[in-house]
A and B are shown apart, each in its own frame.
Chain A
């Protein structure tokens, strides 16, 4: 069996006794033909029950992309794990490569497979169908030009099909094929197929998928997969493979202007400085005027350097090193763009977000956002609605759980250049990274920039915080964190008295007190706790600017929010004070009777009982509440404040 059955080339080079010179010529010609083929990346979606893996197995098998040793091991495996019955090859086992997948008979993660026909090269991403692995399907869809959705002819369009279609549409996959599989099981019935196809077209149009092709197939028998079906003579359309060979792969995105995110500054010596990156959007030529964003400086392209020699033009998809005519500064995270066709530059935008982490997305929490080569701090400022991927209904949401989809406003630490995702996948997409675990926690597709930030300008005042504080003190935040009953409020209260006695200007922000006023509208869910701390952090920042020593006494259980509060003020102005009092001691004290209620189940989300407390990793001051008295601890803080020159 040939690895690759190329009807034109194979017979010519199969003759083993041709002279070496002919062999070289034949191979040259063959390779030239290979190299002129283009590439289509597509995903397959559906569950094992729909015969998805069987379909890919069938494509590989029929395209002669399997070797004898692979077939032999497939025969062995079919006997051990197969579900197609004795003596039958279970083609699904070709793609389910992980031990857990073979044992459970499901697809968990994306598998990439490669095959070639006479007309085209293909990369198939076989994606899982189960809702719990949606994030893995999204991974496969992000780079796909086309999607093959499988439905079982006996069942028709199900919830799962609608979910996959929604994700395919969100990720901007342009061409959708509905493969109505298992036609053999419905007696090759035309009406069944046409009813399912009509159903699906109505649904697809509703969610904005315009290019739909429906094909009746049987992956088991191979009908209409690679060869036309005799059993379905009533069907006049292309086979699945025939259609995939003709889909327009050069996905003409709307963006036609040059973009290049700077990946790496290439500086081998004093005389050469180039900016390495991959061209997207439109071509770039030597002599083109370009702008460097977000800064906005402009220059001209002097050279397009590659190891094979300088280029005059670089096309989208090419990796080059660009040399500019002027000594302008650019670094990783900047984007070099056509001066005449620039992207948006903003620090706020609206986007669809797919959440991929076990820890829910909480509005107000700070994440890292990667877009192109830029990495910036970002938070969701408003979760407008979540989208039920099964019913496509919009619903109000306070957070996004694993595999949820939402439409959100995001705010960044600084402006970045971007395009709408609909215009450009490369410059309209981003991922969100958890700051503590570094996990890729979510991904997003940008819809449009928000202008509100650009119309609010900061007003520089003449009297600043140093002037307001005078020689009296160095303004700062003393942030007390610890369990309920750990002694935060008592120590803060006594400390303020002591500072007052020493003639310093102070203010106390106490959790309970603030919740009676400013934060009256907030409860105790994780998302409300995040917002609670965000507001208090902003207020404490204003008070530092007023020149005060601000004592904040909040449980503040999450590291991430305390980190965020720290970043609002300048270095050295934030002292984290950890009330390290053991839970047993706090619970024994129980000054407000809250632990008793929580243990009785009357107080949900109580920190230390059924809601986590994340202790600080490097607090400026640690107070052992279980071992020392209040006066002792106050003295410890005062000493530290003197040492740091705060007082």
Chain B
């Protein structure tokens, strides 16, 4: 189905069996025929290195902190993060719950995917909604993207972290996404009021991560720091990781606003005079609140097509995010306030 759009349903499995029979450095099957033993080439591939680094980071967090949590945003990076967490602690389940900060404006397909994934993997999923914000009627149309994001996302996140006393929170951010992210440590220290101090970050050497904190302080952890967007898709492809169907193109109802294609996901989208939703072949490169996430016109309905499209793209993935375009260095300012 849509989660597995490849012509070859199990590329990863095929690669492995190929390696076991032929490639240099592999060990011939012994005569006492052990049960399916995998072999590893002496030199690790680029993705194997990234995977191992992420797993190392996750295990450090599990060992060093009292109460970690994994921020789950339902996007492709979250899917990879969760897959890595399953690998890091196998055969145990990851020793932390998932937390989704729901702004109440997420795509409906994201919510369905979220609930199904948590159930299938048998993982605790906590959903937090900023009830104060809901009471005040905060939304992207009434209050603008900046206020909506701050109240429903940033403040909502801080409420959830404080309410449960989480001392470490995993996020799926990558350094290739944005300039201030490129500067951030993997273990990123936060004061008791969740502030990031970019000018005074802890030195982070080798693979020695200092997770010591005083009461009330916390650490944001970014196991995907060294992955690029291409690595993410390549890994999803290799490992057959399910992602939200919105990443794949199909006809969807959209309106064009200030050059951005907004999908009409429910009847809360106020149409301006003269606007009529049109059905267009579109997909999403990044997922967030539906009114703040621009679609791209595309016919890429399978993973290889998405990867091919990305290789030919002339714009970065965050371009579709309305909130990033507010002001120069806006991400740094938002991060200082506690945004992920």
Contacts and interface: CB of A to CB of B under 8 A. Distances in A.
Contacts of A368: 212
A139 B36 contact: no
A34 interface: yes
B206 A69 contact: no
Interface string A97-120: 111101000001111111010000
List the 6 shortest-distance A-B pairs measured between CB atoms, nearest first: A97-B179, A27-B304, A307-B90, A438-B212, A319-B55, A142-B205
B127 interface: no
B145 interface: no
Interface of A: 1-4, 6, 9-10, 13-14, 20-21, 23-24, 26-28, 30-31, 34-39, 67-70, 73, 76-77, 80, 94-100, 102, 108-114, 116, 121, 123, 135-136, 138-139, 142-143, 250, 263-264, 266-268, 272, 274, 276-278, 283, 305-315, 317-319, 321, 332, 356, 368, 370-373, 425-426, 429-431, 433, 437-440, 443
B198 A308 contact: no
A2 B205 contact: no
A367 to B, nearest CB: 12
A443 to B, nearest CB: 5
B283 to A, nearest CB: 15
Interface in B234-274: 234, 237-238
Nearest to A262: B63
A266 B199 contact: no
B51 A319 contact: yes
Contact of A266 (B86, B92, B201, B316): B92
A306 B90 contact: yes
Contacts of A371: 208
A95 B178 CA distance: 10
Given A102-B329, A114-B176, A315 B92 contact: no
Given A108-B199, A121-B46, A98 B307 contact: no
Nearest to B40: A315
A263 B209 CA distance: 12
A31 B205 contact: no
Interface residues of B, number: 85
Interface of B: 6-8, 11, 16, 27, 34-49, 51-52, 55-56, 59-60, 62-63, 86-93, 175-176, 178-183, 198-199, 201-208, 210, 212-214, 225-226, 228, 230, 234, 237-238, 302-305, 307-308, 310-316, 319, 328-329, 332-333
A268 B213 CA distance: 28
Contacts of B39: 311-313
B183 A97 contact: yes
A38 B316 contact: no
Contacts of B36: 309-310
A433 B91 contact: no
A3 B92 contact: no
Residue among A26, A114, A306 with the highest chain B CB neighbour number at 10 A: A114
A34 B59 contact: no
A283 B34 CA distance: 20
A425 B38 contact: no
Contacts of B178: 97
Given A39-B49, A306-B90, A438-B212, 9 more contacts: A67-B319, A69-B319, A70-B316, A76-B328, A95-B179, A309-B38, A311-B39, A312-B39, A318-B40
Contacts of A272: 91
A135 B199 CA distance: 12
Given A68-B315, A430-B208, A113 B182 contact: yes
A595 to B, nearest CB: 34
A261 to B, nearest CB: 10
B183 A24 contact: no
A264 B204 contact: no
Contacts of A112: 175, 182, 225-226
A120 B95 CA distance: 36
Contacts of B208: 370-372, 429-431
Given A263-B63, A276-B59, A368-B212, A24 B204 contact: no
B308 A3 contact: no
A166 B86 CA distance: 42
Given A38-B43, A99-B332, A142 B206 contact: yes
A318 B328 contact: no
Contacts of A113: 175-176, 182
Contacts of A1: 314
B230 A440 contact: no
Contacts of A438: 210, 212-214
Contact of B329 (A24, A30, A76, A99): A99
A370 B238 CA distance: 36
Contacts of A311: 37-40
Nearest to B13: A308
B304 A266 contact: no
Given A26-B308, A267-B92, A312 B212 contact: no
B103 to A, nearest CB: 24
A36 B45 contact: yes
A265 to B, nearest CB: 9
Contacts of A250: 43
Nearest to B319: A69
Nearest to B214: A438
B56 to A, nearest CB: 5
B59 A264 contact: yes
B7 A431 contact: no
Contact of B46 (A38, A73, A77, A80): A38
Given A97-B182, A98-B180, A440 B202 contact: yes
Given A113-B182, A136-B203, A332-B63, A20 B302 contact: yes
B202 A439 contact: yes
Residue among A67, A272, A433 with the highest chain B CB neighbour number at 10 A: A67
A114 B228 contact: yes
A66 to B, nearest CB: 9
Contact of B183 (A111, A312, A429): A111
B205 A431 contact: yes
Contact of A20 (B37, B55, B210, B305): B305
B203 A356 contact: yes
Nearest to A358: B200
A598 B288 CA distance: 63
10 contacts: A3-B311, A13-B312, A27-B303, A27-B308, A35-B238, A68-B315, A98-B183, A112-B225, A311-B40, A429-B205
Nearest to B44: A317
B269 to A, nearest CB: 25
Nearest to B227: A114
A315 B202 contact: no
A98 B210 contact: no
Given A20-B305, A35-B46, A317-B44, A312 B38 contact: yes
B290 to A, nearest CB: 21
Nearest to A431: B208
Given A112-B226, A312-B39, A426 B207 contact: yes
A319 B59 contact: yes
Nearest to A356: B203
A73 B319 CA distance: 11
Given A24-B302, A315-B44, A321-B90, A97 B212 contact: no
Contacts of B176: 113-114
A31 B234 contact: yes
Contacts of B237: 27, 31
Contact of A4 (B47, B175, B311, B319): B311
A372 B56 CA distance: 12
Given A31-B234, A135-B203, A314 B40 contact: yes
A48 to B, nearest CB: 15
